[in-house]
């Protein structure tokens, strides 16, 4: 996979997550959103939990781990985080974690305090973790086969 495909994918996500809310004149809601996380309905070892409004409400380790809720909700959707997120500049000032930490801890803490951390459903977009050589090889094969 070359830089063009990665930039295109990021461009598509940013256009849909950032630009469309402004086009729809929903500026008030857009300003209130602290972060938007690209998620998919796929298997993972760590799920994020979202309520019916796609607001972050917790996490769950694996398929049978006990859900850790940071906000009360009647229903939860288990979704996998793609690692792509769009944050408000306000987010940086609200971070209190120090040293090495998972950004998910910050998101959960802030969601528990009532901040809007929303999901962007990226199910119809190609996504692959490229952190291992075999994953990179699979992405190159997918590109050659026209899947991407």
Every domain of the chain and the residues it spans: 3-144
Residues 28/29/34/38 CA torsion (nearest 10 deg): -140
Tens digits of per-residue pLDDT, 40-62? Answer: 999 999 999 999 999 999 999 98
CA 125/CA 95 separation, integer angstroms: 30
Q: What is this structure's pTM?
A: 0.76
Tens digits of per-residue pLDDT, 68-115? Answer: 999 999 999 999 998 888 888 899 999 999 999 999 999 999 999 999
User: Between vectors from CA 48 to CA 91 and to CA 131, what angle results, nearest 5°?
Assistant: 85
How many Cβ atoms are within 10 Å of 52's Cβ, its own excluded? 11
Share of the chain above pLDDT 70, in %: 78
């Amino acid at each position: 996979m070359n830089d063009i495909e990665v930039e295109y994918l990021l461009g598509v996500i940013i256009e849909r997550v950032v630009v469309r809310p402004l086009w729809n004149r929903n500026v008030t809601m857009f300003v209130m959103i602290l972060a938007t996380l690209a998620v998919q309905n796929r298997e993972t070892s760590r799920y994020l939990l979202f309520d019916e409004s796609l607001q972050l409400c917790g996490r769950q380790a694996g398929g049978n781990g006990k859900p850790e809720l940071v906000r009360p909700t009647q229903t939860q959707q288990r979704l996998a985080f793609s690692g792509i997120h769009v944050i408000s500049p306000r987010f940086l000032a609200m971070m209190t974690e120090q040293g090495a930490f998972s950004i998910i801890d910050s998101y959960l803490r802030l969601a528990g305090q009532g901040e809007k951390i929303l999901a962007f459903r990226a199910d119809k977009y190609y996504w692959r973790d490229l952190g291992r050589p075999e994953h990179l090889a699979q992405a190159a094969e997918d590109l050659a086969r026209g899947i991407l």
